[in-house]
Amino acid sequence: MRVATWNINSVRTRIDRAVAFLERNDVDVLAMQETKCSDDKFPYSAFEAAGYDVAHVGYHQWNGVAIISRVGLENVRDGFDGQPGFNKEPDAPQDREARAVAATCGGVEVWSLYVPNGREIGDRHYDYKLEFLWRLAEQIDPSTPQVFCGDYNIAPTDKDVWDRAFFEGKTHVTEPERAAFEALLEAGLNQATHPEPYSYWDYKGMRFQKGEGMLIDFQLSGLEGAGFVDTHEREGKGTSDHAPVVVDYDLTRLQLDEVR
């Protein structure tokens, strides 16, 4: 089964690119983040015309996550148990944001996750990010085939950023963030591998053209998988600042277990 994860940075802006990407890469399941629209404005019909079912969680014009599948879409879950909320005002209700959706696709529980950015070290959003990751770890079930896809907003090692010194004193590379990411692996997940070093390049400063990127988009799974980053989707005009991470999973053993 071929699974992709992509922070598309506005699905309505890039709907044609998204459908073309699915067809060009023969993708079975796409986990999408930062759709930036509410459920009633999501372009369901474009994906359905291409043969895909859609589960989307979007409350307004910010955040938003989706799972797009041609191998079944069952047991859809909006968020997860214990998922924290956020409001910039500490005394206001901390409402849950559209940052997580899960569904069973082809016998695999697939998650699309948009982990909070963290903003700045010491900001309440940084604490929110860490709590989100800790609570996410509670959703891991080694007895169930799962794939946790998404924009994690963490570079787990120094080799995952173009210049570690540039990020000194900034989020995405701090020890607490990296420890929270490592806890997901220690709970039973593997990081899918690919030869390309980065998945994100800031729009500013010609970062893509200079090769100054970050690896912050991942597929973590109890399944073994390897793939590639489709850097073609970061070329030219009108692109997202992220490129899709595409991974192939061999479900032969899973299917044999079902027969037994």
Query: Mean pLDDT for the chain?
Result: 95
The residues assigned a catalytic role are 114, 151, 242
CATH topology classification for 2-254: Deoxyribonuclease I; Chain A (3.60.10)
107 burial class (0-12, 13-18, 19+ CB within 10 angstroms)?
middle
Q: What is the pTM of this model?
A: 0.96
258 pLDDT more than 60: no
34 is in an annotated binding site: yes
Is 7 annotated to bind ligand?
Answer: yes
Question: Are the C-beta atoms of residues 36 and 116 closer than 8 Å to each other?
Answer: no
**Over the Cα atoms of the chain, what is R_g?**
17
Distance CA 47, CA 153 (A): 27
Side-chain-side CA neighbours of 87 within 13 Å: the count stands at: 8
The pLDDT, as a whole number, for residue 255 is 55
* Per-residue pLDDT reduced to its tens digit, 83-112: 999 998 999 999 999 999 999 999 999 999
Q: How many CA atoms lie within 13 A of 187 on its CB side?
A: 20
CA neighbor of 100 nearest in space, from 133, 145, 142, 141:
133
Mean pLDDT across the stretch 3-30?
97
Q: What angle do CA 122, 125, 131 make, to 5 degrees?
A: 100
Contacts of 193 (CB under 8 A, 6+ apart): 225, 226, 227
Average pLDDT over residues 226-235: 96
Task: Give pLDDT, residue 252.
Answer: 82
Query: Quick one: which H or E segment has residue 51?
Result: none
Dihedral over alpha carbons 178, 183, 185, 188 (to 10 degrees):
180
Is 70 exceeded by the pLDDT of residue 16? yes
Give pLDDT tens digits for 191-225: 999 999 999 999 999 999 999 999 999 999 999 89
Q: DSSP characters for 3-45?
A: EEEEE-S-TTTTHHHHHHHHHHHT-SEEEEE---S-GGGS-HH
E strands present in 184-242? 190-191, 217-221, 225-229
Q: What φ, ψ does residue 146 adopt, rounded to 5°? A: -135, 150
Q: What is the dihedral of CA 17, 223, 71, 16, to 10 degrees?
A: 0
Residue 259 scores a pLDDT above 70: no
- Quick: pLDDT tens for 106-152: 999 999 999 999 999 999 999 999 999 999 999 999 999 999 999 99
Per-residue pLDDT at 41 exceeds 70:
yes
Nearest-angstrom CA–CA distance, 238 and 221: 31
Residue 117 annotated in ligand binding: no
pLDDT of residue 236: 87
Q: Where are the domains of the chain?
A: 2-254
Q: What are the phi and psi torsion angles at 132 (to 5°)?
A: -55, -45
Across the range 153-159, mean pLDDT stands at: 98
Query: Residue 256: pLDDT above 60?
Result: no
